[in-house]
């Protein structure tokens, strides 16, 4: 019946993440509709020294561009929204600044690891810094269902354990709903589908071409952005003027 494979899979999950704590953090994230970034940070800390995160680092290093980022410990300069908004209209820097200002977000909203010496710490910090760039180029919104979609990209392309856990947890929690239970599955699936179609994103050095038009970035990375629906920032950010 194939149950032996399922048993082995469950054993692997139990080894890589003590289920109770990981599920508790996933529930916190889901209840906050993706707004509680501190929960994501705690889950990343939870995975820091675990086999799942170390395996993720090896997958990242298999991407030549990301491996070079590891070698250089590349983080790029700090982002100043007041300066970025002066970039040409339609550029990545301008669009990033306008969206972040509209939401009232700071570019460095995340906590820092004490150092970038360990590969797992560097990987986590690079994910944190580039996360909102992924939102901009993919079109996935920064709130609600868009968050499930955008994290699904890094989850599928690299098996980033925090994002994989959050997406799988959201799917599992959807079973508690009677109506519309398949919505969360669909939101995650949309991110997975995009992840298979586009180029790997983690090795991209966004900071080195902030003046490049978003449309050019998308063409280079083979991204067809989400422009409509509850999971698109184009639709949910009412009043945004680009």
- CA dist list (Å): 233 to 84, 120, 127, 212: 19, 30, 20, 20
In a domain? residue 176: yes
In a domain? residue 242: no
Question: Residue 1 has what pLDDT?
Answer: 40
Helix residue ranges per DSSP H, 48-174: 51-61, 64-72, 81-84, 92-103, 119-138, 145-158, 161-173
Question: Residue 178 has what pLDDT?
Answer: 64
In a domain? residue 45: yes
Arithmetic mean of pLDDT, 216-226: 98
- CA dist list (Å): 188 to 76, 119, 143, 152, 191: 29, 27, 14, 6, 5
Question: Residue 93 has what pLDDT?
Answer: 98
- Of residues 218 and 24, the one with the higher pLDDT is 218
Over residues 64-98, the pLDDT tens digits come to: 999 999 999 999 999 999 999 999 999 999 999 99
CA–CA separation, 40 and 26 (whole Å): 8
> Quick one: 123 exposed, middle or buried, by C-beta within 10 A (0-12, 13-18, 19+)?
buried
In a domain? residue 103: yes
- CA dist list (Å): 234 to 55, 139, 189, 224, 226: 35, 7, 19, 13, 8
Over residues 94-139, the pLDDT tens digits come to: 999 999 999 999 999 899 999 999 999 999 999 999 999 999 999 9
* Bridge partner residues of 91 (DSSP): 213
Q: Which domain holds residue 131?
A: 3-236
In a domain? residue 96: yes
Query: How many domains would you assign to the chain?
Result: 1
Whether 51 contacts 15, CB under 8 Å: yes
What is the token pair recorded at 226? 């989400």
pLDDT at 40 over 90: no
Q: What percent of the chain has pLDDT over 70?
A: 83
In a domain? residue 85: yes
Question: Residue 5 has what pLDDT?
Answer: 47
Q: How confident is the model at residue 23 (pLDDT cuts 50, 70, 90)?
A: low
Mean pLDDT of the chain: 87
Question: Residue 27 has what pLDDT?
Answer: 53
Arithmetic mean of pLDDT, 217-223: 98
In a domain? residue 241: no
The SS3 assignment for 234 reads helix
Question: Residue 2 has what pLDDT?
Answer: 46
Say which range, 38-42, 49-53, 173-177, has the weakest mean pLDDT: 173-177
């Amino acid at each position: 019946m194939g149950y032996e494979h399922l048993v082995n899979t469950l054993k692997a999950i139990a080894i890589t993440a003590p289920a109770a704590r990981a599920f508790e953090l996933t529930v916190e994230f889901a209840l906050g509709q993706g707004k509680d970034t501190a929960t994501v940070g705690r889950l990343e800390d939870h995975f820091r020294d675990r086999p799942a995160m170390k395996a993720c680092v090896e997958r990242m290093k298999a991407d030549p561009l990301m491996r070079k980022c590891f070698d250089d410990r590349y983080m790029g300069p700090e982002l100043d929204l007041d300066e970025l908004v002066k970039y040409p209209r339609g550029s990545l820097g301008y669009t990033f600044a306008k969206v972040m200002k509209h939401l009232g977000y700071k570019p460095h909203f995340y906590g820092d690891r004490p150092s970038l010496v360990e590969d797992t710490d560097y990987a986590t910090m690079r994910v944190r810094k580039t996360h909102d760039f992924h939102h901009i180029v993919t079109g996935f919104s920064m709130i609600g269902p868009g968050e499930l979609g955008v994290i699904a990209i890094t989850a599928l392309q690299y098996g980033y354990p925090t994002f994989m856990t959050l997406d799988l947890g959201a799917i599992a929690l959807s079973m508690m709903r009677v109506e519309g239970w398949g919505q969360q599955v669909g939101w995650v699936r949309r991110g997975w589908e995009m992840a298979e179609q586009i180029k790997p994103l983690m090795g991209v050095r966004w900071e080195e071409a902030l003046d490049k038009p978003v449309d050019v970035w998308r063409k280079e990375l083979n991204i067809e952005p989400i422009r409509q629906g509850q999971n698109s920032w184009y639709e949910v950010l009412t009043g945004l003027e680009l």
